[in-house]
Amino acid sequence: MGRMTARDIAKNFLQYLSMVVINMLAVTLFCGFVSNALTLDRTLKKYYEDSNLTDIICQFSALTENDRTFFETLDTDALEYRLYSEGSAGKNSAKIYVCATDNKISLPVIAEGERGVLVDKHVSERDGLSIGSELDVEMPLPLGTTRLVVTGIMTFTEAAATHTYSPLYIDFDALFETLFPLLPENARQNLYKNYCNQILIKTPSPQNVKDVINAYYAQAEEHGLVFVSSRDSMESVVMLNGEISQSVKMTCVFPVIFMLVSALVVLSTISPLILRERTNIGTLKSIGIKNSAILLHYSLFGAVLCLIGGVIGVIIGPLIIPNVLLVKYNLIYSIPHFVGIVYSPVWSAVALLAVCASAALIGLLVCFKAVREKPAACMRPPPPKEKFIIAKIYGRSRKGKPRGISQKMAVRNIIVKPARAVMTVIGVTGCLALLVCSFGIGDTVNNSIDFELGVQFKYDVSAAFAKESEAEADFLTLAEELKNEKKIDAYESYKVFYMSAKAENIKDIKIFALADNSMFTTINPGGKTLISRSVADDLKAEIGEIVTLSAAGRQYSLTIDGIIETAFTKGIFLTDTDGLFDGSFYTLGIWLKTDNADEELLGRLNSLGGNANTMAKIREDVDKTISSITAIRLTMMVFSITLAVTVLYNLSLLNIKERTRDIATMKVLGFSTGEIARSLLYEIMILVTLCTVCGLFFGYPITILVMTINKIEALTFIYHIKSISYLISAIISLVTAFGINFLFLRSIKKINMTESLKSIE
């Protein structure tokens, strides 16, 4: 039986190779996503361990001696104080962490240089900063503005997502020696102690400690406690852990679809093989081979082929998928590189067992019926079930010529093999749906950006200044001068507040105070409080609920009046904040309308310390931020097209082999090669056309599923698939099917009529 198998594999090598390839693709995706989740998890655990990430953060408007005395009595492993401030660094908003030089909790991971003034590695690349660069750092009064020299490049666990701000980690000595050079050391130490507004705690039982803290301050009449946050609720930790969860969920999307298609291909390949082997099965039974041995042989046949593909997938999956997604992580997050690709022996074994068991089960079920028959019955061909169809199909016209024989043969072949037709439809539909999804990802991303930068906001230049900047008044004066000089057509100012919002969850957000009936944006709160849908989802806030805001030691409450769709300008939108956020740090922004956004205009805006960007530059920056999605989209497209080609190749080859006797019969009856070829081509094209319709229909929901799982913080998706994407997907499907079958039709001339017609005698 082993030699029989070897001969059969050699004879049908390409067909069985397709089984290997399809199972390889399925296992590659599954093991790749599992490996990515495990690799990212191990990387983050090491990252948290190296940085000694705090378990609890307590934010205060101001710390008192009573606060310090209380915290010193808590049962903790370690406790430290630091100064946290929101301000600006260079031209960007910044989160500034000022710590004692000998601190041990929530340390930065230094990539280059040494402690002192550390900037994030993404920020250094974006702003062209390096060791020795001078950086203007601005914090709320009384600290004010100072110029510091960068001493190192870092990644910082509490600020891993840096697309909206610049993290800055400063040693107390580096800052206070610059700000207060004449003060003696002990005076600077006391000053730093008075400015500290955060307490970091390391403890094995964070929830118990939080409960004790909350219970204590619930009874205090007056206190400066703003919030108590555990590690699990930190924005960066939530986002990074969410990436692990998303990668795990991805194993339930693409790999499952690929494995289902793989099972269908195995079924469509193994079934004809065993039916062709009926004579051999009868011969084996007649010479005394046990039924169990025959069943084991044919069930293991498909399992071995799937095992070969699965082993290849287990090896290459963790080498491909994690490295593709690493591009995404490095673009979005400021984290160290992977510490090494992690293979999962358990999940690899599960994947191999799944593909092998499905192939073995298919072979067992298909072979079982033949094995139950007597040897004589097995050695006879199965009785035809399509006599009534043949009579109908082979009717003739009045002149005695066949009537539409090619089309009728195609329909007849589909009807007599309904199971194979269904498998073809399901398999190709899955491939095409994934192909539409890959196009849909790009369309959705572009639609989200186009909606915001082309519909929702209509400025040509955007510029921003920090509130405390002395040039703020000059900024508005300059805008008026530019308008009088006809350099710009119009301008409009707005404010952006940086706050921590709390509903059911806590999240750092922006508060946009817009002009009433703004001419530069379609967002018009009209005295109401509007919130971006993605922010509302993160906070788990609904219309009518109250959101508590905190900044600079103050708390405010807003009631949500409406939810709006935005792509990357996300937060809460108001039209009037006078008296509401007094004293809070904000950034003053301005939108300008101009037909000539040249370097001179930008230079005049930036000369006052502003940060001016054109709409085109903003779009370029956004494209860079979400460029990782392109890698995912192209990976999906390559896998989808490869799967589609493999499936169509396998089905077309199988179609030719199953029709060998029919083709020989038609040759004997005098039908031309063209007529025979058209009948086979019509058959597969009818099925592929049906697959195309179904695949186009399922493409959109799969796109939503994939992008919901693979969402990123930088961009909220506004789902859309262009008509041209549907058209291109359909063309790829139909042209691929036509091309593969056209190539196979050449083999019709090679069919030996004598051998084919006596093959089942």
pLDDT in tens, 435-478: 888 888 888 888 888 888 888 888 888 887 755 445 567 777 88
Residues 6+ apart with CB under 8 A from 157: 47, 48, 51, 53, 106, 109, 236, 237
In the structure, what pLDDT confidence band is assigned to residue 408 with cuts at 50, 70 and 90?
A: confident
In the structure, what pLDDT confidence band is assigned to residue 398 with cuts at 50, 70 and 90?
A: very low
Amino acid present at 656: I
Q: What is the mean pLDDT of residues 404-418?
A: 72
State the average pLDDT for the chain: 78
For residue 404, give the DSSP letter.
S
Cβ–Cβ < 8 Å for 33, 323: no
CB neighbourhood size of 133 (10 A): 16
For residue 363, give the DSSP letter.
H
- 198 vs 220: CA distance, rounded Å: 18
Q: Is the pLDDT of residue 636 over 80?
A: no
Cβ–Cβ < 8 Å for 596, 587: no
- 63 vs 586: CA distance, rounded Å: 23
Boundaries of every domain in the chain: 1-50+241-383, 51-240, 386-457+616-761, 461-596
CA distances from 580 to 561, 593, 639 (A): 17, 29, 54
Look at residues 269, 631, 657 and name the one whose alpha carbon lies nearest to residue 427.
Answer: 269
In the structure, what pLDDT confidence band is assigned to residue 81 with cuts at 50, 70 and 90?
A: very high
Least confident of 200-209, 311-320, 390-399: 390-399
Question: pTM for the complete prediction?
Answer: 0.66
- 504 vs 546: CA distance, rounded Å: 10
In the structure, what pLDDT confidence band is assigned to residue 387 with cuts at 50, 70 and 90?
A: very low
Which tokens go with 165? 């701000």
Look at residues 530, 532, 525, 544 and name the one whose alpha carbon lies nearest to residue 507.
Answer: 532
Q: Is the pLDDT of residue 345 over 80?
A: yes
Residues 6+ apart with CB under 8 A from 56: 200, 201, 203, 206, 209, 210, 213, 228, 229, 230, 231
Cβ–Cβ < 8 Å for 461, 597: yes
CA distances from 695 to 368, 425, 674 (A): 34, 9, 30
Look at residues 559, 538, 537 and name the one whose alpha carbon lies nearest to residue 548.
Answer: 559
Least confident of 2-11, 332-341, 453-462: 2-11
In the structure, what pLDDT confidence band is assigned to residue 573 with cuts at 50, 70 and 90?
A: very high
**What integer pLDDT is reported at residue 397 of this predicted model?**
45
- 84 vs 170: CA distance, rounded Å: 10
In the structure, what pLDDT confidence band is assigned to residue 598 with cuts at 50, 70 and 90?
A: confident
- 273 vs 370: CA distance, rounded Å: 12
Report H helices in 524-672: 533-539, 599-606, 615-625, 627-658, 660-668
In the structure, what pLDDT confidence band is assigned to residue 152 with cuts at 50, 70 and 90?
A: very high
Cβ–Cβ < 8 Å for 616, 705: no
- 559 vs 345: CA distance, rounded Å: 51
Q: What is the Cα 98 distance to its own chain's centre?
A: 35
Q: Is the pLDDT of residue 693 over 60?
A: yes
- Strand bridging mode 152-155 / 117-120: parallel
Residue 754 belongs to what H/E stretch?
helix 753-757
- Residue by residue, DSSP assigns 74-121 as S--SEEEEEEEEEEEETTEEEEEEEE-TT--SS--EEEEE-SSEEEEH
pLDDT higher at 356 or 714: 356
In the structure, what pLDDT confidence band is assigned to residue 650 with cuts at 50, 70 and 90?
A: confident
Look at residues 754, 88, 707 and name the one whose alpha carbon lies nearest to residue 447.
Answer: 707
